[in-house]
A and B are shown apart, each in its own frame.
Chain A
Amino acid sequence: MNPSPLAGPGTKVLGIETSCDETAAAVVVDAHHVVSSVVSSQVDLHARFGGVVPEIASRAHVELLAPVVAQAMIEAGVDGDVDAVAATVGPGLIGSLLVGVSAAKTLALVWGVPFVGVNHLEAHLYASFLEEPDLPLPVVVLLVSGGHTLLVLMEAHGRYRLLGGTIDDAAGEAFDKVARFLGLGYPGGPAIDRVATQGDPAAIAFPRAIPDEAYDFSFSGLKTAVINHVRKHPEVVTADVAASFQEAVVDVLVTKTLAAAQQHGASGICLAGGVAANSRLRERVLDTCVQHGLHPFLPSPSMCTDNAAMVAAAGWWRLQSDGPTPLDVGASPNLTLTFHP
């Protein structure tokens, strides 16, 4: 692809992410060289404001955004000399989105550089490109997080086909709710991952739900099956429940993703989203890819969970294909993957 003058070599993009729980900012050069990436939950910013910062409230994003952006700029050693500012415009809560979008537009205007609106789901797909810039397309991407479970065929940059998704709960949500039910704490994904290593994944045969559509997922029934099993067998070993539950989720995710990759002649499988940090899922995807001659693209865990480096990378590509986003484009709480801001 010929780089446009707007996104040529050495283009520095400041990315801003406020769509959900994390306030994040990052500076990325040429869509793959991460110069800085700051995520609010990973830094101790609480001391500066005193007390606990509520994570969901848009007010928290307001309080955290300036220091997070400042830190990303300082770590990157840039002082206003970025070439574009990208921000997540959706999907997400309107109040939270507006914080990042307004800040990004303001900075773009002040610095006289383009603003780029980014789709949060598309940004997750670009996490793989941060570490594998020349990743051969088409690939099948399994995007699994607390809020989303999507199986996507990425045919070209900016061109996606939604193959399937959850019909009820997201995979990450199932992890969190089962973890809370088992008393393993929050966040539930890492807690189950940890406890499951002590348990037998074959101890309990939890159901593998198969919805009507080939590439859809369903995790609500599994969650209820875990609850029912523990109610009936209070003496059951928690580690066995965690391991068997995790195996049921991973089984379905891997089976369907492999089938999709084979059906569509994909070069490989990309993982994205917070659940992509799950060690059992990574292990199973790796094994499956090796077994079937597919390339595994497994971004490091810090790039799987919500971050702004992926927003900057997606912004770079969007700038190259479509140019700047008009400043009258607002936040879109209900944005879907195949609709561009």
Chain B
Amino acid sequence: MIVAATRSVGETRALAAALAELARPGDLVVLAGDLGAGKTAFVQGYGAELGVTERITSPTFTILSSYQGRLPLHHLDVYRLDQVEEAYDLGLAELLDEGGVTLIEWGDTILPALPTDYLEIRFLLGDHDDDRRLELVGVGARWAARTRALRTALRPWLVDDAQVGEAPTADGGAPC
């Protein structure tokens, strides 16, 4: 697990931009964590780095927004889905096959519907209002090969390895 910390929404966006520099066609990023933790802000920073000029807003109600950058960016929010089966109806498989980058807010609630290669980023609230702790876990061969690159990109925000073993401060449970 890679652990990073940010102290403002702006820093979360900057961290996201650093990760977007590593983006490859077909990447899937699962964003987990409570309401107000900064998931949409993360996608805004990520999209800006990808060259998306359109405004990126929360897709909680619309479920999916697609943007054109140097790679296509698909931004999903499955907060409102009641059951994993509804995720299949969204045509996720087709989206992922299109060669863009897909970021899914609350994606941890539909893991059975997702491919087995993805980067999970869990957002945890910190001691101060704007503090966030981000825990990144690469799942599958695609991400295992990129651990070093991820660490390098995240260097400004990395938390000392000594603290990595600490218990998370929130569970980021399912929304429903």
User: A-side interface residues toward B, CB under 8 Å?
Assistant: 20, 54-59, 91-95, 145-147, 165-170, 172-173, 176-177, 180-181, 220, 223-224, 227-228, 333-334
Taking a contact as CB atoms closer than 8 A, the residue among B58, B60, B89 that contacts A57 in the complex is B89
Indicate with 1 or 0, residue by residue over B118-129, a CB within 8 angstroms of chain A CB atoms: 000000000001
- For window 80-104 of B, CB contacts with A under 8 Å fall at 80-83, 85-86, 89-91
16 contacts between A and B (CB under 8 A): A54-B82, A54-B83, A54-B85, A56-B81, A56-B82, A56-B89, A57-B85, A93-B90, A95-B91, A146-B61, A147-B61, A168-B44, A168-B57, A168-B58, A169-B57, A333-B66
Beta-carbon contacts of B29-60 to A below 8 Å, as 1s and 0s? 00000111000110010000000000101101
Q: How far is the CB of A300 from chain B (nearest CB, A)?
A: 22
Q: A54-B86, A95-B91, A333-B64 known; A227 and B36 CB under 8 Å?
A: yes
CA distance A168 to B63 in the complex (A): 14
Whether B65 sits at the interface, judged by CB under 8 Å, is yes
Contact B64 A220 (CB under 8 A): no
Additional 13 contacts, C-beta under 8 A, given A93-B62, A165-B57, A168-B40: A54-B86, A55-B82, A91-B62, A93-B63, A95-B89, A166-B57, A168-B44, A169-B40, A180-B175, A224-B36, A227-B34, A228-B36, A228-B129
> Which residues of chain A have C-beta atoms less than 8 A from B89's C-beta?
56-59, 95
Q: In the complex the two chains form, what is the Cα distance from A71 to B4 in whole Å?
A: 56
- Give every chain A residue within 8 A of B60 (Cβ-Cβ): 146-147, 169-170, 173, 176-177
B55 touches A167 (CB 8 A): yes
* Min CB–CB distance A230 → chain B (angstroms): 11
A56 touches B63 (CB 8 A): yes
Task: Establish whether residues B64 and A181, one from each chain, have CB atoms under 8 Å apart when the complex forms.
Answer: no
Tell me the bound Cα distance from A180 to B57 in angstroms: 20
Are B58's CB and A145's CB within 8 A?
no
Contacts of A170 in B (CB 8 A): 57-58, 60-61
A55 to B34, CA, bound (A): 23
Please tell me if the beta carbons of B35 and A95 are within 8 angstroms of each other in the complex.
no
A residues near B62, Cβ cutoff 8 Å: 20, 91-93, 147
List chain B residues, Cβ under 8 A from A224: 36, 129
Query: Chain A residues with Cβ under 8 A from B58's Cβ?
Result: 168-170, 173, 220
Quick one: closest A residue to B175, CB to CB? A180
| Chain A positions within 8 Å of B44 at CB level | 168
Nearest residue, chain B, Cβ from A169? B58
Contact A93 B85 (CB under 8 A): no
B44 to chain A, nearest CB (A): 8
Question: With A59-B89, A177-B35 as given contacts, are A93 and B64 in contact (CB-CB < 8 Å)?
Answer: yes
A304 to chain B, nearest CB (A): 15
CA distance A172 to B34 in the complex (A): 18
Bound Cα distance A158, B27 (Å): 40
CB of B57 within 8 A of CB of A167, answer: yes
- In angstroms, how far is the closest chain A Cβ from the Cβ of B32? 16
Whether B65 pairs with A223 at a CB distance below 8 angstroms is: no
Our pick among B41, B55, B80, B83 for the contact of A220 (Cβ within 8 Å) is B41
How far apart are the CA atoms of A54 and B86 in the complex, in Å? 8
